Amino acid sequence: MDLLLQSLVNGLIQSGFFALAAVGLVLIFGVMGVVNFAHGELVMAGAYTVWYLHAQIGLPYPVTIMAALAICTGIGLLMEQFLFKPTRDDPLGGLICSIGVLFILQVAATLLGGDGPSKQVPPPYEGTMILFDTLRIPYQRVFSLVVSVAALAVLWYFLTRSRFGWALRAVSLDREAASLQGIDSNRISLIAIGVGAGLAGLAGALMAPLTNINPHMGHNVIITAFIVTIVGGVGSLSGAVIAAVLYALFHTFVSTYFSGTIATIGGLLIMVVVLILRPTGIMGRRVSE
């Protein structure tokens, strides 16, 4: 029972990262129609930024989180300007360009930190809180969950209350109609990828003290992001969040009782089933073809 409860809690905390990464991916795909295969590497870039600036140089952790946000947002904007915008009519071309970025970022990480054993960032917030005499929750994890939820709340507010948010949703529903209404869809795409990449960078920065940092860490991130995105619904942000929570719980449980690999296989199979039965996921819209 204790193991169950502990797994539940761990899963919920994991869901924060999954949600941040998946929401970023959905935003980019929803608004720009491009599958950003480099999304995992954006998370990795965030983690590396924190590792370099905090663990190596010694800047305060919150500062490095901001730096990670800024750098990843910057990379996203560059990608939009030079890769996605020119290939707007060719989504497959955009996808392939993102694969190119994937490789470039991986090499950049290797050059920065070498290809040796994974790096560790000592958690800036030490200590563990103990609930109900049995649940152990390190403060670092609490911090990451709180920040994730806060970021998602800010995003929700931005999307539902601000002018840009409204425009983002309009473009994701119908690009042509939106531009007929006077929305500059290129500017909106910039905002979408800026936010999406920024969220990825934030996820990476939050993950940095909690995981192994190496140039290939993006691989698992992208798989998780795809699973969550598809199951939650390709166009739906709230679906992505819900699916993130559910999948994180699922993955944590299966990892605890079986193994991480089995958990991922299970996740992939669920994704394939969803793709067959209801490609638009739990909450997605019908995608017309």
Partner 1 sequence: MAASRLVKGLLLAMMLAALMVLPHFLKYHHQDFLIFLTINVLVVVSYRLVTLTGEWSLIHAVMMGVGAYTSALLTKHLGISFWISLPLSGIVAAAIAAVLCFPLFRMTQFYFLIGSFAAGEAIRLCWIHFIQPFGGTGGISGLAVPELGSIDFFEPIPYFYLVLVVVTLSLIVLYRIETSRIGLTLHAVHWKAPLAESVGVNTWNYRSLAFVIGSFFVGLAGTLKVHYLGTVTPNQFDISLMVFILIWVIVGGYRTFYGAIIGAVVLSVLDEAIRDLDVLRPAIYGALLIASIRFLPSGLESIPQRIIARFRCDSRTEPMP
The residues that touch partner 1, with contacts defined as CB under 8 A, are 35, 83, 86-87, 90-93, 95-97, 99-104, 106-108, 110-111, 115, 219, 223, 226-227, 230, 259, 261-262, 264-265, 268-269, 271-272, 275-276, 279, 289
Return the structure tokens found at 172: 């994701």
- Tally the C-alpha atoms within 13 A of residue 165's C-alpha that lie toward its C-beta: 10
How far apart CA 285 and CA 112 sit, in angstroms, is 42
Torsion of CA 69, 72, 77, 81, to 10 degrees: 170
In the complex with partner 1, the residue whose CB is nearer, 33 or 123, is 33
| Helix, strand or coil, per DSSP, at residue 87 | coil
Burial class (CB in 10 A: 0-12, 13-18, 19+), 121: buried
In the complex with partner 1, the residue whose CB is nearer, 167 or 227, is 227
The residues that bridge with 131 in the sheet, in sequence order, are 135
| Helix, strand or coil, per DSSP, at residue 108 | helix
Q: How far is the CB of 146 from partner 1 (least distance, A)?
A: 32
In the complex with partner 1, the residue whose CB is nearer, 95 or 159, is 95
In the complex with partner 1, the residue whose CB is nearer, 223 or 249, is 223
Burial class (CB in 10 A: 0-12, 13-18, 19+), 177: exposed
In the complex with partner 1, the residue whose CB is nearer, 82 or 125, is 82
For residues 190 and 80, the answer to whether their CB atoms sit within 8 Å is: yes
- Residue among 224, 257, 221 at smallest CA distance from 243: 224
Q: How far is the CB of 59 from partner 1 (least distance, A)?
A: 27
Q: How far is the CB of 215 from partner 1 (least distance, A)?
A: 9
In the complex with partner 1, the residue whose CB is nearer, 118 or 128, is 118
Q: How far is the CB of 135 from partner 1 (least distance, A)?
A: 30
Q: How far is the CB of 77 from partner 1 (least distance, A)?
A: 16
Q: How far is the CB of 239 from partner 1 (least distance, A)?
A: 15
Count of Cβ atoms closer than 10 Å to residue 122 Cβ: 9
Residue ranges of the alpha helices (H) in 128-217?
A: 139-161, 163-173, 175-180, 185-207
Q: How far is the CB of 271 from partner 1 (least distance, A)?
A: 5
In the complex with partner 1, the residue whose CB is nearer, 17 or 226, is 226
- DSSP 8-class letter at 7: H
**For residue 71, what are the contacts with CB-CB under 8 A and spacing of at least 6?**
45, 46, 49, 201
